[in-house]
């Protein structure tokens, strides 16, 4: 066999091998995508709640793949007064709010709040968090008059449970101050900002 023919056969074999490998890579990617989709479609409500939970530095785009499954559980979960159902509503609403889909977030927060008030009570810390979430949404869309009473409710609950000098309470003071600033009511905002500074200065000094 001539050297030219051997080289040509090697090149042909190499091309064939690369073609087979490219098909295998493509097939593996399709199989991987299939199992990912199948996995999401079989996720329990607990897994969806965990997947949608908002944490610092989240990649919200990656969470979008869980939306269909979350919507499925919202439609089909039997116990609509269960804490799991409540958490799912709140987490999905938080996701929609974070990506700017306020129209989708608003009814979910309202529904979650109604359930939380009934099963946990109006002064429960988890209910207070939903008050705050809904208030933040109203502030984002300029519905300031709806946001204010909700913030004031949260302030009252946190002061009662945690005290006026707790960092979490300071965060709510700051949220309320931001609302008043947005409304142009600077005289109401200023003492709240000063209160926040005082609390965090004390916390940092103690540390």
Q: What is the mean pLDDT of the chain?
A: 84
- Residue 119 reports pLDDT greater than 80: yes
Q: How confident is the model at residue 63 (pLDDT cuts 50, 70, 90)?
A: confident
Q: How many CB atoms lie within 10 A of CB 98?
A: 13
Domain ranges of the chain: 1-42, 120-207
- What are the residues whose beta carbons fall under 8 Å from the beta carbon of 59, sequence distance 6 or more? none
Lowest mean pLDDT among 6-10, 86-90, 126-130, 149-153: 6-10
With the CA atoms of 187, 189, 192 and 194 taken in that order, what torsion angle do they form, in degrees rounded to the nearest 10? -70
Q: How confident is the model at residue 31 (pLDDT cuts 50, 70, 90)?
A: very low
Reported as a pLDDT band with limits 50, 70 and 90, residue 92 is very high
CATH topology of domain 120-207: 1.25.40
Of the two residues 22 and 183, the one the predictor is more confident about is 183
- pLDDT, tens digit, 9 for 90 and up, residues 157-166: 999 999 999 9
Asked if residue 134 has pLDDT above 90, the reply is yes
List Cα–Cα distances, 55 to 44, 60, 111, 167, 205, in angstroms.
Answer: 20, 10, 22, 18, 27
Residue bearing tokens 């869980």: 66
Quickly state the pLDDT bin for 101 (edges 50, 70, 90). very high
Q: Residue 42 is inside which H or E element, if any?
A: none
Judge contact between 151 and 172, C-beta under 8 A: yes
Q: What is the mean pLDDT of residues 62-71?
A: 88
Neighbours of 194 (CB within 10 A): 12
Confidence of residue 64 (pLDDT cuts 50, 70, 90): confident
pLDDT at 11 over 80: no
Helices 125-140 and 144-161 cross at an angle (nearest 10°) of: 150
The predicted pLDDT at position 35 comes to 40
Q: CB–CB of 126/116 below 8 Å?
A: yes
**What pLDDT, in 10s, does the model give residues 141-159?**
999 999 999 999 999 999 9
pLDDT band (50, 70, 90) for residue 22? low
């Amino acid at each position: 066999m001539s050297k030219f023919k051997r080289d040509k056969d090697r090149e042909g074999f190499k091309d064939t091998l690369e073609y087979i490998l490219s098909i295998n890579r493509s097939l593996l990617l399709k199989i991987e995508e299939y199992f990912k989709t199948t996995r999401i479609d079989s996720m329990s409500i607990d897994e969806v709640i965990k997947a949608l939970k908002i944490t610092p530095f989240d990649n919200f785009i990656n969470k979008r793949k869980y939306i269909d499954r979350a919507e499925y559980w919202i439609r089909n979960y039997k116990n609509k007064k269960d804490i799991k159902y409540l958490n799912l509503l709140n987490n999905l609403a938080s996701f929609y709010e974070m990506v700017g889909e306020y129209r989708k977030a608003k009814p979910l927060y309202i529904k979650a709040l109604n359930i939380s008030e009934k099963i946990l009570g109006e002064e429960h810390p988890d209910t207070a968090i939903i008050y705050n979430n809904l208030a933040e949404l109203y502030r984002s869309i300029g519905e300031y008059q709806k946001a204010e009473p909700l913030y004031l409710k949260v302030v009252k609950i946190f002061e009662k449970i945690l005290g006026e000098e707790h960092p979490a309470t300071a965060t709510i003071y700051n949220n309320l101050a931001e609302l008043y600033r947005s409304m142009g009511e600077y005289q109401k905002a200023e003492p709240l900002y000063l209160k926040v500074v005082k609390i965090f200065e004390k916390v940092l000094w103690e540390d």
